[in-house]
Amino acid sequence: MRKPVYFFRLSNNKGCALKSFACGDVVPGCEAVWVCSTEDEILASLAGHAGSAHGIHDVSAEMVKTVQEAITTVS
C-alpha cells in the first residue's frame, strides 16, 4: 500500500480555519492530500498535480467546481 502524499502551504492564518482537500475524493485511488490556509492556495497548487499525476493539463471549470465542493474546513 502506498503512503499518502501530503502538501502543506500555510500562510499567515491567525484565527482562520485551515482548508483541506483529498485528491482521492475526485480521482479515485489518488492519495495526495493538501492542507492550506485558503481554498485559493489549494487550487493554485492543484494544476501542477493534475498534470503530473493524472495527465490532466486543461483543468475545466467543471473540475474546479468539483474540487471546490470537495474542499473541507479543518478545525
SS3 content of the chain, % helix, strand, coil (to 5): 40, 25, 35
Q: What is the pLDDT of residue 1?
A: 44
Higher pLDDT, 7 or 56: 56
Per-residue model confidence as pLDDT tens digits over 9-42: 656 556 678 899 999 999 999 999 998 888 999 9
According to DSSP, residue 23 is labeled: G
Q: What is the pLDDT of residue 74?
A: 86
Domain boundaries, the chain: 5-74
Give the position of cell 501530503. 6
Per-residue model confidence as pLDDT tens digits over 47-65: 889 999 999 999 899 999 9
Q: What is the pLDDT of residue 72?
A: 95
